[in-house]
């Protein structure tokens, strides 16, 4: 069971029932999701087994589920090839939970440069967790997104998604990186929608580079539909809302299917 959640039993069913995932999406008015996992065997207990699992779940509806897999930062870049062969379409790194800086390759302590180079060559986006984590044992010294500036300089064609826009400490840094690097994107998940504009006041200036997300079923995320409804109630231009909700993801991953009949 998933501790601390009233819906833990249903969530566990969803892990092995893609049809239940799709019904949940339909009820929330969501056309497409990223099914996101990463490798963190020491801190989180997440092994490389997450990769075939997430690929298989998404295979049942590839037009509606985008599988994100994980890599071992100390292993070779051919991991990317194996993920692509599985059907994984993007990679998730979580520096605070993997206990490694995203630019650690510059000190020769990881093989992330090989991973970035191969992902860049194959056109596989890399999502990087930015911002603090309160999970016991998380290393928040690796949470500052500024280290991604090195990645943007060294791998300028790599698509980098900054998950959570550095919340709660590094909104300005995230904004700077979005403006500096043409292939950087920002994911607004994990930021309560009602506080999004206060946290990221120049959102409209980089609206072409932001991706909607909820971080559900993460802690304190009430649900996909409630987050979506709260976001739609914000005082944002309609075209900005559409960019975050659909257009930008369509540019990065290809068009999503229409929702409903």
| Ordered DSSP codes for 208-260 | GGEE----TTSTT---HHHHHHHHHTSS--HHHHHIIIIIHHHHHH-PPPPP-
pLDDT of residue 1: 35
Beta bridge partners of 163: 129, 187
Which residues touch 22 (CB under 8 Å, ≥6 apart)? 61, 64
Tokens of 229: 């409804």
Q: Is 30 left (phi over 0), alpha (psi -120 to 50) or beta?
A: beta
Cα–Cα distance measured from residue 118 to residue 52, given in angstroms and rounded to the nearest whole number: 20
Domains in the chain with CATH codes? 29-253 (3.20.20.140)
Asked if residue 2 has pLDDT above 80, the reply is: no
Its pTM stands at: 0.95
CA distances in angstroms from 81 to 71, 254, 260, listed in the order given? 11, 20, 35
Tokens of 61: 């509806």
Mean pLDDT over residues 216-242, rounded? 94
Short-list 7, 75, 73, 65, CA closest to 33: 65
pLDDT digits (tens, 9 = 90+) for 70-85: 999 999 999 999 999 9
Tokens of 110: 């990881």
DSSP per residue, 152-200: HHH-TTS-EEEEGGGTTT-HHHHHHHHHH-TTEEEE-TTS-GGGHHHHS
pLDDT digits (tens, 9 = 90+) for 18-64: 999 999 999 999 999 999 999 999 999 999 999 999 999 999 999 99
Q: What share of the chain is helix, strand, coil (3-state, %, to 5)?
A: 45, 10, 45
What single-letter DSSP state applies at residue 46? B
Q: How many CA atoms lie within 13 A of 99 on its CB side?
A: 9
Short-list 46, 42, 98, 43, CA closest to 74: 98
The more confident residue out of 11 and 207 is 207
pLDDT of residue 259: 73
Short-list 164, 232, 230, 223, CA closest to 199: 164
pLDDT digits (tens, 9 = 90+) for 146-172: 999 999 999 999 999 999 999 999 999
Asked if residue 4 has pLDDT above 70, the reply is: no
pLDDT of residue 220: 83
Beta sheet of 126-129, edge-to-edge order: 33-36, 65-69, 90-93, 126-129, 160-163, 184-187, 210-211
Percentage of the chain lying above the pLDDT 90 cut: 90
């Amino acid at each position: 069971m998933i501790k601390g959640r009233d819906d833990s039993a249903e969530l566990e069913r969803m892990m092995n029932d893609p049809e239940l995932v799709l019904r949940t999406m339909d009820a929330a008015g969501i056309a497409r999701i990223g099914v996101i996992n990463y490798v963190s065997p020491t801190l989180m207990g997440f092994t490389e087994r997450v990769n075939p699992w997430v690929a298989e779940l998404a295979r049942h509806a590839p037009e509606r589920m985008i599988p994100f897999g994980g890599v071992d930062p100390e292993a070779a870049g051919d991991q990317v090839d194996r993920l692509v062969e599985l059907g994984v379409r993007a990679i998730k790194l979580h520096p605070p939970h993997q206990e490694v800086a995203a630019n650690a390759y510059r000190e020769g302590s990881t093989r992330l440069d090989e991973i970035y180079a191969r992902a860049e060559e194959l056109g596989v986006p890399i999502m990087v967790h930015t911002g603090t984590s309160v999970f016991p044992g998380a290393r928040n010294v690796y949470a500052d997104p500024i280290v991604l500036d090195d990645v943007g300089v060294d791998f300028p064609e790599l698509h980098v998604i900054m998950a959570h826009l550095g919340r709660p400490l590094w909104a300005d840094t995230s904004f700077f990186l979005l403006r500096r690097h043409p292939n950087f994107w920002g994911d607004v998940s994990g930021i309560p929608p009602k506080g999004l504009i206060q946290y990221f006041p120049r959102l409209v200036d980089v609206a072409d580079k932001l991706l909607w997300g909820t971080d559900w079923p993460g802690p304190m995320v009430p649900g996909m539909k409630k987050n979506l409804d709260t976001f739609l109630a914000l005082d944002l231009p309609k075209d900005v809302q559409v960019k975050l909700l659909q257009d930008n993801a369509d540019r990065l991953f290809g068009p999503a299917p229409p929702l409903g009949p």
